[in-house]
Amino acid sequence: MCGYSEIASRYGFPVTLFVHPETAIAQAAMFRDLEQHGACLGLHMHPWKYSRWRYNGSRYHAHYGGLSEAEQLALLAESSALWQDAIGRRPSYFRPGTFSANDAIFRVLDSLGFKGGSCTAPGRVIPEMCAVWSGAEPDPHLANAVFRQIAGDLSFVNMPLSADRSVLLSGPSGRSMYADLRPDVDWLGQYQTSYKKIATNIVSQVLKRDPDVPVLNTISHNQYAYRDSGDPVYQRLQRMLDEVCAACSAANLEPVGVTLSDITNAVLLAPKRDIPFALEGAIFDKK
């Protein structure tokens, strides 16, 4: 995690770290130090992992989207208290593991006082993990209390994962996703696409949508050797950041490093837009 932060900082980018409760407890001093140096910290939650750690698998044994609203409320209240004991304050930001969620997620987060999160992966469809974002809003927005895939009027801000929406990638068992910028995946070897193509397409698509708060949001995980320059994931992270900067430059844009806290504040300050009510009728464009 320190290595990841160090690489990002060389490009002028701060990081947002979503920290599972037991990790917060085990490495609290490190996370507090990273926060003092510009990182934004939030709560991460894989209920089944939390269950194994705290309850020997006897409670919350599910992906996040498989929990009822009452279970989500209880789990987040309990895990937030543990996180607070470690870090020194309650978490204000959240991400569910595997981007797993159901329609209660934003209502629960808002009611518990969370300010923002990165909870959605537009285009991701993994039904067995309760992660279905087939029509999700692609840009930062106020979350919806009753339907997770569209913008709403809650005070909770959601920052989606950025993805190249030009080609939907299909996998086994009905899975699908768009390519994103994460260094965890060998996009060239596995999917015959490159960071240059992904970054260029994402920048172009964001410009075309012209959102109030444009963002390039990527992810990674904490098991990779980001202090070993010979590691393939280390090398892919640097290549990805190079291509993101190049894609922005080619579009006459200057990337500005921000955290989820900054994005949350920017969305809350943006002019409120009316959400149109859609009626039945012609809903497809002619080709």
Give the orientation angle of helix 69-87 with respect to helix 47-55, to 10 degrees: 70
| Whether pLDDT at 254 is above 90 | yes
Task: Map out the domains of the chain as residue ranges.
Answer: 2-269
Is residue 48 packed enough to be buried (19+ CB in 10 Å), middle (13-18) or exposed (0-12)? Answer: middle
Confidence of residue 244 (pLDDT cuts 50, 70, 90): very high
- Model confidence pLDDT, tens digit, residues 79-117: 999 999 999 999 999 999 999 999 999 999 999 999 999
- Model confidence pLDDT, tens digit, residues 113-135: 999 999 999 999 999 999 999 99
CB atoms within 10 A of CB 144: 20
| Whether pLDDT at 282 is above 70 | no
Report whether CATH 3.20.20.370 matches the domain 2-269: yes
Distance CA 181, CA 202 (A): 9
**96, 118, 120, 262, 282 from 109: Cα distances, Å:** 11, 12, 14, 18, 36
**6, 41, 100, 157 from 51: Cα distances, Å:** 32, 22, 16, 27
Task: Compute the CA torsion angle 50, 225, 217, 122 (nearest 10 deg).
Answer: -60
E strand or H helix at 42, and its extent?
A: strand 40-45
- Mean confidence (pLDDT) of the chain: 95
pLDDT score of 281: 63
- Model confidence pLDDT, tens digit, residues 171-201: 777 899 999 999 999 999 989 999 999 999 9
- Give 51's contacts (C-beta < 8 A, 6+ positions apart): 57, 58, 59, 60, 61
- Model confidence pLDDT, tens digit, residues 4-42: 999 999 999 999 999 999 999 999 999 999 999 999 999
- Mean pLDDT value of segment 188-217: 96
- Model confidence pLDDT, tens digit, residues 66-76: 999 999 999 99
pTM of the shown model: 0.95
| Whether pLDDT at 160 is above 70 | yes
